[in-house]
Amino acid sequence: MKKVYPDARAALAGLLKDDMVIMAGGFGLCGIPETLIQAIRDSGVKGLTVVSNNAGIDGVGLGLLLDTKQIRKMISSYVGENKTFAQQYLAGELEIEFNPQGTLAERIRAGGAGIPAFFTRTGAGTSIAEGKEEREFNGERYVMERGLVADLSIVHAWMGDSEGNLVYRKTARNFNPMMATAGKVTVAEVEHLVQPGDLNPDHIITPGVYVKRIVHVPNAEKHIEQRTVRKRDKAAAPAGTGEEV
Amino acid sequence: MPWTREQMAERAAQELRDGFYVNLGIGIPTLVSNYIPAGMSVQLQSENGMLGFGPFPYEGEEDPDLINAGKQTITEIPTTSFFSSADSFAMIRGGHIDLSILGAMQVAENGDLANWMIPGKMVKGMGGAMDLVAGVKKVVVVMEHSAKNEPKLLKQCTLPLTGAGVVDMVITDLGVFTIDKKGKGGMTLIELAPGVPLEEIRAKTEAAYKVDGRLN
């Protein structure tokens, strides 16, 4: 079976339909499957429910699908960077389901692992727990959260082989590995496409069983949301310091 | 004299211990990394999926694949490891992170915390805050004592909660409080910023609190 497709449009052919649920990897603009998102925009599919930690920014990432009003509902943990999002939400055109970030990550992991629900302390005693089953374990309250699956998952990886084995780079890993497991069909875009045997099997994060289709995106544009740097003349700077530019 | 933002961060840094794994929120908490005592090993966790990070990169060396939870470009250090966001929150929820320092809109005397939404305003989302306060061993809030003359240390939070009974310590520009979030010990004022009188704290605090004997 051939998993490699010539371009993003071909890799998504036959998979897109209105009102479907799509998981899109990435944190902020880091590790987002931007080429596949562009192909979804070009397809015109609409009424989408999109599971993604963030909603891109205006004109970039999932912001592309907001601009064209192809998204009906977002399941996210933070959407603060997108003005179009706020406008459409306030106009009642867009639905949002906020999940705590760790709960969102675990719901996706659970969904991909065949676990329909789990209990977490996160959100106990808050509005997030409303309408959800709660149980006490060892004297503490826990909230039941459901596993999440999607009709389609789109992920971005640094390297992939033609079998669909994937390796991610630095913090661009984020939500991509879990989402790769939780889609009925998972399509991966990879910056470097290699042959089986080229990847060290010990380094593979997503085994090929989860990935149905692959597209090579050697020229994928990467975006920086908050460019923060330090001056060269400062000798030893502590962690997390410098200035925003 | 009330503490400045830097002095509040410096005070928060006194809660660090050698070997700690620590998650710092955005704002004043980020400044705490400036005050890690020399020779102390503290690894900073970034909840998108990184443990052990360094300062911002030199200009021209920014890497779009290397960002912190505030989406800022950051650098690796020799102790760095990368992992998925699910592994990151397993680390947080599983109680493996020693200390979380974060900001707040309101804290109640029982340790309830509100910092994610104001009803009627556009809600941006809670990000990882609910998971951090529910899972990290010790939760320290750093915030201004009052907002536009409204107290932020309350008997009960009026804003939607981020976590119920989760805060261990509050550092404001006026002083430091501990909260016995599991027991019935309530809130205790344990330190005053230099020259701040007890009366000022009393006037600006709605929450009930005891005053540590050393301060009277």
pLDDT higher than threshold 80 for residue B185: yes
B96: contact with A, CB 8 A cutoff: no
**Nearest to A69, CA basis, from A53, A36, A103, A92:** A92
CB contact under 8 A, A223 and B64: yes
pLDDT higher than threshold 60 for residue B35: yes
Distance (Å) from the alpha carbon of B61 to chain A's nearest alpha carbon:
8
Q: What phi and psi, each to the nearest 5 degrees, are found at residue B80?
A: -60, 140
pLDDT for position A1: 76
Comparison of pLDDT for B162 and A220, the residue scoring more: B162
Tell which of B34, B67, B182 to mutate to test the A interface (max A CBs under 10 Å).
Answer: B67
pLDDT tens, residue order, chain A (245 aa): 799 999 999 999 999 999 999 999 999 999 999 999 999 999 999 999 999 999 999 999 999 999 999 999 999 999 987 888 888 988 999 999 999 999 999 999 999 999 999 999 999 999 999 999 999 999 999 999 999 999 999 999 999 999 999 999 999 999 999 999 999 999 999 999 999 999 999 999 999 999 999 999 999 999 999 999 998 875 566 777 666 54
Joined tokens for residue A62: 């999932």
The model's pTM is 0.96
pLDDT for position A237: 65
Cα distance between residue A144 and residue A132, in whole Å? 6
Reported ipTM: the value is 0.96
pLDDT for position A24: 98
Averaged pLDDT, B179-199: 95
pLDDT band at B184 (very low <50, low <70, confident <90, very high): confident
In terms of C-beta density within 10 A (0-12 exposed, 13-18 middle, 19 or more buried), how is residue A178 classed? Answer: buried
Tell which of B5, B58, B131 to mutate to test the A interface (max A CBs under 10 Å).
Answer: B131
pLDDT higher than threshold 90 for residue B156: yes
Distance (Å) from the alpha carbon of B204 to chain A's nearest alpha carbon:
26
Cβ atoms within 10 Å of A158's Cβ, excluding its own = 18
pLDDT higher than threshold 90 for residue B37: yes
Size of interface A-B (CB pairs under 8 A): 215
Contacts of B64 in chain A (CB under 8 A): 29-30, 172, 222-224
pLDDT for position A243: 60
3-state secondary structure (DSSP) of residue B147: strand
For residues A153 and A108, is the Cβ–Cβ distance under 8 A?
Answer: no
Identify whether B47 is a catalytic site residue. Answer: yes
CA within 13 Å, CB half, B78 = 1
A16: contact with B, CB 8 A cutoff: no
Cβ atoms within 10 Å of B156's Cβ, excluding its own = 13
CB contact under 8 A, B72 and A244: yes
Question: In whole numbers, what is the pLDDT of chain B averaged over residues?
Answer: 96
Contacts of B122 in chain A (CB under 8 A): 86, 89-90
Print burial letters for A31-59: b (CB count within 10 Å at least 16), e (below 16): bbbbbbbebbeebebbebbbbbbbbbbee
